[in-house]
């Protein structure tokens, strides 16, 4: 403040000498200084607010955990699995936005879709699209729930129109809803239909690490494709799998996951099923889903 006052007084003195009279009073000098400082504070506050908004738009999902910030650890199904790690990162961003409390996401395997379709005698049954969606796969997630760490199993599988037709997935879900077998359906903006159910096993996926699905969501899209999102529930894995809490893929601090799996809430699973990031760009609805 002193430097501001001195600068304005010097300016006032030179102005008064040039005009031959007193041009500025002490009170007016202090008033001008206060205005300068006020404008500076407003500019600074605006810059800080912009930084806060920019930071809030990004979720930190890192390969390495820093000690001074709660970054999310993302892993593929094995060291060096860059594609799996990238999908784990993508899902972590969506999960953190929709559920919060995410600590790590590990993609443990693909999630192929068995359609039961056999093109010909002696030909292997069609397994549909093993990784057609940008975030398809079986995932193990560690998160905080009520202040305590829990483990969640999640399966994500996008089906092309051909695979969905061959498997009859939307038809099975619609029949379940029509018969009042614990399935509900909701028509969404843009023409998609969201089917919700739990416990009933309408579908299966290949390479599933858990024995059963809990809450399940099927989003039937106008173009014929479909997205299945399901909670894994089991007291023990159907086959052993490991996840790592280490930030560095090469540290290999893997531990066997044999704890009971804690599912997402129904509301969280619905929000996840409606996330555009789980669909290929060409399958995303143009109209907002609301």
Q: Does 144 share its domain with 27?
A: no
C-alpha distances in angstroms, 145 versus 17, 171, 200, 275?
A: 73, 36, 26, 22
Of residues 59, 260, 276, the one with CA closest to residue 140: 260
276 in any annotated domain: yes
Domain count, the chain: 2
Is the pLDDT at 159 greater than 80? The verdict is yes
DSSP state of 283: G
| pLDDT tens figures, 217-230 | 999 999 999 999 99
DSSP string covering 204-250: --TT-SSSEEEEEEEEE-TTS-EEEEEEEE-SS-SS--EEE--SSGG
- % residues pLDDT > 90 (the chain): 31
Q: Does 43 share its domain with 91?
A: no
* DSSP H or E run through 17: helix 2-19
Q: What is the predicted pLDDT for the residue at 56?
A: 36
Q: Does 182 share its domain with 49?
A: no
Q: Does 34 share its domain with 95?
A: no
Q: Does 179 share its domain with 250?
A: yes
Q: Does 88 share its domain with 177?
A: yes
Rounded Cα gap, residues 156 and 215, in angstroms? 13
Q: Does 34 share its domain with 163?
A: no
Q: Which residue, 11, 34, 55, sits at the end of a domain?
A: 55
Q: Classify residue 168 by burial, with Cβ atoms within 10 Å: 0-12, 13-18, 19+.
A: middle
Q: What is the predicted pLDDT for the residue at 138?
A: 92
Domain of 138, in residue numbers: 64-283
Is the pLDDT at 68 greater than 50? The verdict is no
Q: Does 40 share its domain with 172?
A: no
Q: Does 50 share its domain with 73?
A: no
Q: Does 14 share its domain with 142?
A: no
Q: Does 127 share its domain with 264?
A: yes
Q: What is the predicted pLDDT for the residue at 190?
A: 85
290 in any annotated domain: no
Decide: 289 and 189 in contact? Cβ < 8 Å: yes
Q: Does 92 share its domain with 27?
A: no
Q: What is the predicted pLDDT for the residue at 118?
A: 74
Rounded Cα gap, residues 199 and 182, in angstroms? 9
């Amino acid at each position: 403040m002193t430097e501001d006052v001195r600068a304005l007084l010097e300016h006032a003195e030179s102005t008064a000498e040039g005009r031959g009279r007193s041009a500025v009073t002490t009170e007016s000098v202090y008033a001008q200084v206060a205005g300068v400082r006020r404008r500076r504070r407003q500019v600074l506050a605006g810059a800080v607010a912009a930084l806060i908004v920019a930071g809030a738009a990004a979720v930190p999902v890192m390969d390495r955990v820093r000690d001074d910030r709660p970054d999310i650890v993302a892993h593929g199904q094995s060291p060096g699995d860059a594609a799996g790690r990238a999908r784990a990162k993508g899902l972590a961003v969506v999960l953190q936005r929709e559920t919060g409390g995410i600590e790590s996401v590990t993609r443990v395997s693909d999630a192929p879709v068995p359609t039961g379709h056999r093109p010909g005698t002696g030909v292997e049954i069609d397994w549909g699209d093993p990784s057609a969606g940008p975030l398809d796969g079986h995932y193990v997630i560690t998160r905080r729930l009520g202040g305590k760490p829990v483990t969640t199993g999640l399966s994500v599988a996008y089906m092309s129109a051909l695979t969905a037709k061959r498997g009859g997935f939307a038809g099975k879900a619609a029949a379940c809803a029509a018969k009042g077998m614990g399935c509900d359906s909701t028509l969404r903006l843009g023409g998609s239909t969201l089917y919700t159910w739990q416990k009933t096993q309408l579908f299966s996926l290949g390479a599933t690490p858990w024995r059963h699905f809990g809450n399940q969501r099927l989003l039937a899209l106008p173009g014929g494709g479909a997205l299945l999102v399901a909670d894994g529930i089991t007291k023990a894995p159907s086959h052993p799998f490991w996840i790592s809490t280490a930030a560095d893929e090469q540290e290999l601090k893997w531990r066997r996951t044999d704890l009971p799996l804690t599912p997402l809430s129904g509301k969280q699973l619905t929000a996840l099923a409606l996330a555009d990031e789980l669909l290929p760009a060409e399958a995303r609805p143009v109209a907002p889903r609301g």
